[in-house]
Structure 1
Amino acid sequence: MSGLPHIAELPPPGRGSRRLFYAYAGVALVCLATGLATEMYALIGLPVLLWVLAQAFLDFRPLFWLLLTMIPVSTNIFLPGGFGTDLPTEPLAIGLTGILILHAVRHWPEYDGKAFGHPIAWLLYLHIGWILFTTVFSEGILVSIKFSLAKLWYVGAYFLLPLLILKTPRRVSIMVHCLLWPLLFVAFQTLVRHGAYGFSFAMQHKTMHPFMSEHVSYAGCLATMTPWLFFLRWWMKSRGQSTWWWALLVLPIWLAAIYFSYTRAAFIALAMAAAAYYIIRWKLLKPALGLALAAGVAVAVYFVHDNRYLDYAPDFETTVSQQQFDNLITATYKLEDISTMERFYRWVAAGHMVPYRPITGWGPGNFLDHYKGYTVNAFRTYVSDNEGRSGIHSYYLMTLVEQGFPGLIIFLLYIFGALIIGERLYHQQTDPAARHALMAALLAMLVVDAFNIINDQMETDKVGAQYLLNLSVLVMMGNYRAINKASHNAPTPPSRLKAT
């Protein structure tokens, strides 16, 4: 199968096309004038909605590229009922998932079984399946249904749809362009605004609004894209493009943005990714992951044995928010940093919740609504009221609490299995561009995996969406063969008229 099944190739514009354009322009002007005159501002967006609907049925690839472009600049808003959404990415993701379902219903026999039935894909399906299963037994069924639905349209828009689109290294490079340049804009404007505050640690959270809700998402988004920055430089240079030197200008700005995010996890994750580059090259990823898992189990056993975790309870009076980054680093190893100790407060509560529901967990998304009844006052800090309703700050522990031990085991199989299979695909691939893409995807996923140790970013469009995109790159670049390059880039036959 070549190209995207039944995607329209539009003919050159003719008289009918010009008439259609003039009609559309007329409708747009009427909606604009009417909306302004009547203050019914929703009418102004009607032409955009009409274009989106038309584009969806003709060729939904531009909408996919638009979705990727919006990830760095999307904003989170809260809706009545305690729910939140990301605009415009979540509505776009929902719409594209719906389009994908309609497309699959009509054209499923033409889909590439090597992609949709790939072992990496089956690991993800197993993970999603367990989330749906535990939703049935949830303590808060409505919250879990919302969580599960969001997970489904994330998978649809950021993993399944890319399996139809990211068929060549060239299309992967388009993906990188779509993500990189808006994110660079966010980083640049953040640095400029932050500079006005003298790069103050206490004020840095003000400088990324409205694009980023807090500094961890900002740093996570930047760190996850960093391996792709090097891929894009290689890609442009390998094709003789004279603009490859832009990386010499972009890289210092990029690293400065990460540094002034003042996010410890970003520094550690990038250092781990640098080491992982050589681990993957030397085919040592499997033993490295085994050691990491053993270390994680050993740390957990150490703290749980004889309630040793109680020895690390903070001093309520001295555990405060730090105003300087160097003070934060010092306070961290002295266990006097409020963000670190608040993590302990929630992790201890999570540990107490697990024995009550060890198999199916408390239900996806339910940690926040139940953890306060299982906290230990010795670990309480000045921010333990959690008015901002931030999460558990460890995706692995969150998975254990909300999905039980089977859920955590399945999740580890999913992420470790994807990395191990990805390493094998990297060494099997002979095409240089596909190999570089595979390496960038593996390193980006490892950055997210490292972040998730002390953060829970997997369900955000800034980081979680990138993880799924990188997962799809592993599948498609692992299957890619240069001999098929001509057929992948060939125009779709004119008889294939519609996406659905």
Structure 2
Amino acid sequence: MRFFFPAYQTREIIASLCFFIFSVWAIISQQWLWMLVPFAILLVPVMIQAAIQHTEKLFWLLMILLPLSTELNITPQLGIDFPDEIVMLLLTGMALLYWWHKPMQFPLTVWKHPLFFWLIIHVCWIAITAAYAIEPLPAIKFLLAKIWYIVPFVLLPVIWVNSISGMQKLAKTLLWPMAFVIVITFFRHATEAFSFESINRHLFPFFRNHVNYASMLVCLLAVLSCAWYLCPKQSVQRKWLFIALLLGLLALVFAYSRGAWLALIAGVCTILVIQKRQMVTFILLAVVAVLVSTAWLVTDKQYFQFAPDHDKTVFHTDFSQHLSATVALKDVSNAERFYRWVAGARMLADKPITGFGPSSFYLHYRPYTVKRFETWVSNNPEHSTVHNYFLLTALEQGIIGLIIFCTLYFFMLMRLQKIYHQLHSYFYRAVTMTVAVILVMIGVINFISDMIETDKIGSLFWLCMGMVMILDGKVKEERASLVSSQ
């Protein structure tokens, strides 16, 4: 090529040819968008090279985007969280390519951690259930999404959040964007006197509804509380953080989410549980309570006692009436939960081993519903799922999938308790407690919702797993430092 065109670079010649070919094709087909292809061919390598050089900045950008991103429907069946999920994809692709060429650079903290072993089993089992899925395409998309959540939030934090300054930066990149959303929501919501009926429309475009908003808010309140706790006493910064904490709690009140309020109470209780080393007892009691109540409900079909009155289960625009209806079991959202839980339990009984496959509940739950539990919102226009992530995991991935996920979740909690009592660092102990509180709150929220697959809560869940690995490494560092000093 250089022999015929000595004055030109090969790349410039190829670019010119591409521009000529696609321009001619655009004129012939009268599809002028083809003329953009040559520019894309030139631009994409530049963008990839820039992204590789600034991968860490891309990671911090992802943290900033989490509270700010919105749901974007590409087709009726395919949606994406924009733009944070695009950044997740980019980070995942670059990380996997890098480790493919340089496997020795894979972080040893992750490789040697027992959580990583269970994480591989979790992903492998999802792949197996996807192979048996009734709807293979949504199942494969679910599997891929699981990977591009795990890499940025579990593996990469071990590289860039593995220090006090890194953890402080992580807190800032999460809290400041969330503060922006809270302020915007406050001003919007105030125009309608903070009414319960209007809260959802004031959250656009950042959150789908008040439940998602309150769920992320209550988790980040734990981060804000940790920052306030670690801040030097009598400092001006501590006073400002206390004011921010009060405003965050006020925002949580006006979010009108009963699940988030319950999660906050559970989070506070977690502090006492870990300090008293009672996490194993706490987990066993929770598991036994669920099993006993489930057995009682199934025996002689006792669950029919909770069948709602179709005409009396309504959505109340006044929050006090909403709470009263909740206590009286006449609230439409709780009644609809029973409707879907019954359907989910019957689906699980039908396919207990591999389940129906990931992302299959909405497409197949109708034949398993019971008419007596139907409400006036059972047409499910939002295409939402069973409203219990543990049940959703069981019916889509089988009992084995549920056991694997619960093992991951409970192992993290027990490990955090152990780490908390082994660490000597005041800072890292506070961070450990915060991670444990967030994990418990996420568990409570997902017992009445299903948000692990969402960018707002799923990101925090997997980030907590990455933090467990980092904090475990800090225990080893302290031990090594103690041995070397002796």
| Interval containing the TM-score (normalised by the shorter chain) | 0.7 to 0.9
Pair 1:156-2:126 in alignment = no
1:320 to 2:277 alignment: no
Do structure 1's residue 220 and structure 2's residue 215 form an aligned pair?
Answer: yes
Question: 1:228 and 1:205 mapped to 2: Cα distance?
Answer: 24
2:52 pairs with 1:57:
yes
Which residue among 423, 440, 445 is the counterpart of 2:439?
445
- Aligned position for 1:175: 170
Q: Does residue 95 of the first structure (1) align with residue 84 of the second (2)? A: no
Matched, 1:80 2:75: yes
Instruction: Give the Cα separation in 1 of the matches to 2:412 and 2:353.
Output: 24
1:242 Cα deviation after fit: 4.4
Which residue in the other structure is 2:126 paired with? 131
Question: 1:361 and 2:372 equivalent?
Answer: no
2:3 aligns with none
The CA distance in 1 between the partners of 2:329 and 2:434, in whole Å, is 35
2:301 and 2:371 mapped to 1: Cα distance? 15
Cα distance change on mapping 1:172 and 1:58 into 2, 3 Å: same
Counterpart check, 1:476 vs 2:470: yes
Matched to 1:341, the amino acid is A
Identical-pair percentage: 31
- Return the structure number with greater relative CO, CA threshold 8 A, min gap 6: 1
Deviates most, 220-229 or 359-368: 220-229
Distance in 2, Cα, partners of 1:39 & 1:135: 37
Q: Which residue in 1 is equivalent to 2:244?
A: 250
SS at match of 1:440: helix
Q: CA offset at residue 237 of structure 1?
A: 2.5
C-alpha RMSD of matched pairs (Å): 2.3
Residue 462 (structure 1) aligns with? 456
Give the letter aligned to residue 92 of structure 1.
V
- Choose the corresponding residue for 1:204, options 194, 199, 203: 199
Report the counterpart of residue 289 of structure 1 in structure 2.
283
Partner amino acid, structure 1, of 2:415: I
Would the aligned equivalents of 2:419 and 2:475 in 1 still touch at CA under 8 Å?
no
Q: Which whole-Å CA distance do the structure 2 matches of 1:336 and 1:242 have between them?
A: 48
Gaps of 5+ in 1: 1-37, 488-500
Give a deviation string over 1:363-418, Cα, whole Å, max 9, x none.
01100100011111111111100111111110011011101111111111110011
Q: Which residue is equivalent to 1:393?
A: 387
Distance 2:160 2:75 in 1: 36
Pair 1:280-2:280 in alignment: no
Unmatched tracts of structure 2, length 5 or more: 1-31, 482-486
Quote the Cα distance in structure 1 between the aligned partners of 2:46 and 2:280.
48
State which of 240, 263, 270 in structure 1 corresponds to 2:264: 270
Deviations 1:14-43 (A, max 9, x none): xxxxxxxxxxxxxxxxxxxxxxxx999x99
Question: So what's the TM-score if we normalise by structure 2?
Answer: 0.87
Cα pair 1:73 1:211 within 8 Å, conserved: yes
Q: How many residues align?
A: 446
Structure ID, larger Rg: 2
CA distance in 2 between counterparts of 1:336 and 1:349 reads 19
2:109, 2:470 within 8 Å by CA — same for their partners in 1?
no
CA distance in 2, matches of 1:421, 1:341: 37
In the alignment, residue 401 of structure 1 is paired with which amino acid?
L
Secondary structure of 1:85's counterpart equals strand
Q: Which residue of 2 aligns with 1:24?
A: none
Identify the residue that residue 419 of structure 1 maps to in structure 2.
413
For 1:455 and 1:394, locate their aligned partners in 2 and report how far apart those are by CA, in whole Å: 5
